[in-house]
Amino acid sequence: MSKYYVNKFLFTVDRNPEYLERYTKDPRTFVATWEQSIGPRLNDAEMSTVHSFTEAERTALIEHDYVALFEMGAHFFLNLTIFIGIYDEAHMLKNGPLAFQKEFAARLQHWVGKDYPSVST
């Protein structure tokens, strides 16, 4: 399991409008591309060889499954903002302000009163 690498995915994609658009439209292809050429990048010149996704992490990212990502300990801020970027506008047009954020919370209700999965990396 690599919480760090999942967070790196969320971090690099949320901050880049082109990546975000590709992850929104075709998540399966984009996750594969990210694993090949974006995730390993340390800087313009250097590549890292040390991280990779588990099958469960890859599936959760492909499926935009923020509940699974929360339960794996992905950082709550990254896990929220990227999916607001993807879903907020459509939900707002259909169901009003904060509709996506409220649905996000509703799908995590089984965690109320429990210790949340740790976001430590």
Partner 1 sequence: MAQLVATLASTHHPFYLKATTMPPEQQMPQAPEWKRKIEAYRETLSRTKPDILVMIGSDHFHQIFLDNCPQFLIGKAARYDATFYNEEREFGIPKYVLEGDEEMSGFMHRHLMGQDFDFAFSNELKIDHSIICPIITVRPDADLPVVPIYTNIFAPPLPSPKRFYNLGSAIRKAIDDYPSDKRVAAIGTGHLSLELGGPRQFMETGPDPVFDRQAIEWLRTGDIGAILENVDHESMARSGNATHGFLNFILMLGVAGPEDADYVDNLDLFHTMEAYFTWYPKEAAA
Binding site for partner 1 (CB under 8 A): 4, 7-8, 11, 14-17, 66, 70, 75-81, 84-85, 88, 98, 101-102, 104-106, 108-112, 115-116, 118-121
Q: Which is nearer to partner 1, 93 or 106 (CB)?
A: 106
Which residue type does 37 have?
Answer: S
Instruction: Give the other-Cβ count within 10 Å of 14's Cβ.
Output: 21
Structure tokens, 79: 């896990």
Q: Which is nearer to partner 1, 94 or 110 (CB)?
A: 110
Residue 87 beta carbon to partner 1: minimum distance, rounded to whole angstroms: 12
Query: Residue 1 and residue 5: Cα distance in Å, rounded?
Result: 9
